[in-house]
Structure 1
Amino acid sequence: MLRNSFVIISVMLLVLSGCGGGTKNRPEARPPAAGAPAAPGASAPGGYGQTATPAACPTTRQRHFVKTRFLTNAGLAAGTFRRYIYKPYRAGAFNSGAPKRKRTIVKAAAAAIFAFDQLRRAKANAQADPTLCKVLIGPIDKLTASMKDLHGKLKGGNVDSGLIGSVAGGVAGFHKDAASAGAGFKDKEPPASAVGG
């Protein structure tokens, strides 16, 4: 009974993290096209990537509960990567001959697209807050691009250890950048249904 309550609460938090707050029509979560130009407003280098120019950021908060939503989305993105991609990689679950290797890769690909969507949501929330926008848009953009590349490789059945290491470094940098903006987050376990059970 307690476990069922936890699952229901987790799903409700996930739903609430993407609800309300200023936009009625949200674009479908899709990775940007290959070779797409960089997001406008990226300029001076930040911790892991670049920061948005002050002109591209709002001067006042544009959505309700923006920081709480950001913390949820960022935590889910990082936790999903760690649980379904980084830990299996470190355990050798992607190695040739490993038990359930194909299933692990399929789950990792699903996890990468879920993490990509959570990063998209985190960016939308960061863009609605003056401080988060200035510090975090560049790092989120860079991490999102890496996650897109990783999803493409995993979807094709390829495990690129260098890319997994790069994304892991990006996640660590994202943690530091978020903490420096006063929005330090903890990794969150995604609902099992988000990555196919």
Structure 2
Amino acid sequence: MAGATACGGGGDRGQREEISSAAAAELAVLAVAEPDAAAADELAAATPSPTTPAERQKFAKTRFVANAGLAAGATYQWIVKPYREGKFKKGAKGRTFALIKAGLAGAFAYNRLKAAAENAKGDPLLSKAMVPLTAGIESLKGLATKLRKGEAGDADIDAFDNVINGVKEAGKNAGAVVTDKVPSTSQLTG
């Protein structure tokens, strides 16, 4: 490219993006098709990992708070709140879209709660606090489908709410305060 600077200036921007995309796609295909052991070793060496038990606990709490916060935010924003507003009732305006979002949010919340429970295993206090909640988290597995189909009732919504509140309380008691963090719609879809 004539006239290009170290900062990437000059040349035809559209062409440069096209080349970058094509090059990235080719590299991705090569990386999947022929994984190089040396490259894998380099990647493993470059991946930071906690070295002390204190660091592992700190990171476990941080990940727990992030995952539990996302689950709590998704549950409140797209399940509890619309349900209480009557958006899941037959004939309600925007019902279909609300049910689809609730189904996605239910699956997302279940996934994040499972991840939070796994993160909790890295901290002794969190681990003990989460033990009684494991069955409650597992009970949420099929609720995403019920939400999406419009078959969820008060008991189902309360189950989500109770598990979320239990996880928040467990975190608080272990020194990991969980606050709701509403995920974007694109995060819900994966």
**Which amino acid letter does the alignment assign opposite residue 83 of structure 2?**
Y
SS of the counterpart of 1:176? helix
- CA displacement at 1:170 relative to structure 2: 2.2
Counterpart Cα distance in 1 of 2:54 and 2:132: 19
Query: Which residue type is aligned with residue 135 of structure 1?
Result: A
Shift in Å at residue 194 of structure 1? 2.1
Q: Normalization by structure 1: what TM-score? A: 0.64
The residue that corresponds to 2:160 in the other structure is 167
Residue 118 (str. 1) matches residue 112 (str. 2): yes
1:147 aligns with 2:161: no
Give the alignment of 1:51-90 within 5 angstroms: 60=53, 63=56, 65-90=59-84
Give deviations 1:28-66, integer Å, cap 9, x for gaps. xxxxxxxxxxxxxxxxxxxxxxxxxxxxxxxx5683611
1:1-197 alignment, distance < 5 Å? 60=53, 63=56, 65-139=59-133, 141-196=134-189
Distance of aligned partners of 1:76 and 1:83 in 2 relative to their CA distance in 1, 3 Å threshold: same
Q: Quickly say closer, same or farther: Cα 1:130–1:20, change in 2 above 3 A.
A: farther
TM-score (norm 2): 0.66
What is the number of equivalent residue pairs in this alignment?
A: 141
Q: Which has the higher helix share?
A: 2
The amino acid across from 1:171 in the alignment is I
Q: Please report how far the alpha carbon of residue 184 of structure 1 lies from its aligned counterpart in structure 2 after TM superposition.
A: 1.6
Q: Can you list the C-alpha shifts for 1:8-33, whole angstroms capped at 9, x where unaligned?
A: xxxxxxxxxxx9869xxxxxxxxxxx
Kindly indicate whether the alpha-carbon contact (under 8 Å) linking 1:79 and 1:190 is maintained by their aligned counterparts in 2: yes
Q: Give 1:151 shift.
A: 1.2
The list of structure 1 runs, each at least 4 consecutive aligned residues, that deviate by more than 4 angstroms after superposition, is 19-22
Please state how far the C-alpha of 1:196 moved relative to its aligned partner: 4.6
Q: Retained in 2: the 8 A contact 1:143–1:171?
A: no
Deviation string 1:94-137 (CA, Å, 9 cap, x unpaired) is: 01110111111111000011111111211121011112111113
In structure 1, the partner of 2:29 is: none
Mapped partners of 1:137, 1:21: distance in 2: 26
RMSD, aligned α-carbons: 2.4
Rounded Cα–Cα distance in structure 1 between residues aligned with 2:96 and 2:168: 30
Runs of 5+ consecutive residues of structure 1 not aligned to the other structure:
1-18, 23-59
